Amino acid sequence: MLGAFANAFKTPDLRRKIFFVLFIIVIFRIGSVVPAPGVNVVSLNSCIKVSQAGANANLYNLINLFSGGALLQLAIFALGIMPYITASIILQLLTVVIPRLESLKKEGQAGQAKITQYTRFLTVGLAILQSTAFVALARTPGRLFPGCNEALLYKDDWFTVTIIVLTMTAGTGVIMWLGELITDRGVGNGMSILIFTQIVATFPTALWSIRKEKGFGIFFVVIAIGLVIMAGVIFIEQAQRRIPVQYAKRMVGRKMFGGTSTYIPLKVNQAGVIPVIFASSLLYLPVLISQFQMEEKWAVWIQNHLVKGDHPIYMATYVALILFFTYFYVSITFNPKEVADNMKKYGGFIPGIRAGRPTEEYLGYVLNRITLPGAIYLALLSLIPLVALVLVNANQNFPFGGTSILIMVGVGLDTVKQIESQLQQRNYEGFLR
């Protein structure tokens, strides 16, 4: 493993790509700690210390996770990569509904470039909405940091608010550009690496807070449990059901094609981290709305039951949403009918299964059976931070569990595989053996 890392740095172009990625990451992290203009940093730091891990930690957990803690620091990269993720998910869902987007997806690289352009525009729009809503909450510090009454902004006028909104929106645009630079000139997927960076950036603080509150005993126990969880996640993420496919021989002109065997890989976790993001976002919306109607009975009920992560109603709702969105997302991203039609078109068939509708029904049956353990796996993994909230008295930024561990493992495996493939092109052994 260490020898493979040495070989990666011995290769000039690969070494240049790795250093370029590290340079972009440094710029990205600097922008995550530089406050937006008009923000009172002294009052902000005071409010962060006064605030207890509770409602605010649950309410803004998802966005704050993807911003590496920059959200609650009102930094210029406060929104992080979240608007781009939301825009990408929306476009992916609309591709199934809108025929124009579906035709663009089938056009190949040119159509994908057009969809990417739409994603950028939607990202900017979402960034404006999210930054406006967040700055509006920042004008009343008690909603962001319970128990804090200090003014977070030097001036509470429309000009200052507009400048902060424009700065955060521009920061989201810069993040998109940095991610595309990594994809074009570096190693791995740029957006994924930036998400990975922001999540990893919260680890030292989260672990050290556990050490300060619980001592070294619990600290090492948490690390040991984290390593076990990480190994389990790697095992599940790599697990797949391989459906064998045989292609019949056929003559095209004077050439013979086909006669090969391959397989359709169906992953146990076919949906990835998307169901967790959907469930967290859906739970986030009613809590956000209730912040503006604190006196209403329904708002009080939401604050009592859906804000605290250790509440049974919150956990049950969270698990139910993850199970639902796992099946929902898999159903729109993997179309058994389309796969069966493509196999039939090119002379492919599953041994023992007739081509056409029987193949479609068989693929749907296998997909439904394999999605259930994947959905349960996501639900259990997402409950780890909530259980830690009860057992270790940690906040919901508990490092080993939920969205963070899924993204870390997924991005890490993908990046290592890309580096390995480039090493193998130069006759090196690579990382994975």
Residue 312 and residue 228 in one domain: yes
Residue 312 and residue 391 in one domain: yes
Torsion angle defined by CA atoms of residues 27, 33, 39 and 40, in that order, rounded to the nearest 10 degrees = -140
Residue 96 and residue 209 in one domain: no
User: Could you say which of 138, 173, 201 is where a domain stops?
Assistant: 201
Residue 196 and residue 233 in one domain: no
R_g (Cα) of the chain, nearest Å:
24
Q: Kindly state whether residue 419 falls inside one of the protein's structural domains.
A: no
Tens of pLDDT, residues 388-408: 655 655 554 455 666 777 878
Tens of pLDDT, residues 18-51: 889 899 999 988 888 888 888 877 777 777 666 6
User: Could you say which of 132, 167, 201 is where a domain stops?
Assistant: 201
DSSP 3-state of 243: strand
Tens of pLDDT, residues 117-155: 888 999 999 999 888 888 887 777 666 666 667 777 888
Residue 209 and residue 197 in one domain: no
Residue 327 and residue 346 in one domain: yes
**Cα separations (Å) of 377 from 268, 321, 367, 401?**
9, 14, 15, 11
Query: Span 287-316, mean pLDDT?
Result: 70
The H or E element containing residue 129 is helix 109-138
- What is the extent of the structural domain holding 266? 203-400
Least confident span in 40-54, 79-93, 254-268: 40-54
pTM: 0.76
**Nearest residue to 414 via CA among 207, 251, 188, 244:** 188
CATH number of the domain to which 365 belongs: 1.10.3370.10
Residue 39 and residue 187 in one domain: yes
C-alpha to C-alpha distance for 421 and 433, rounded to whole angstroms? 12
pLDDT over 70 percentage in the chain: 78
Count of domains forming the chain? 2
Q: Kindly state whether residue 162 falls inside one of the protein's structural domains.
A: yes
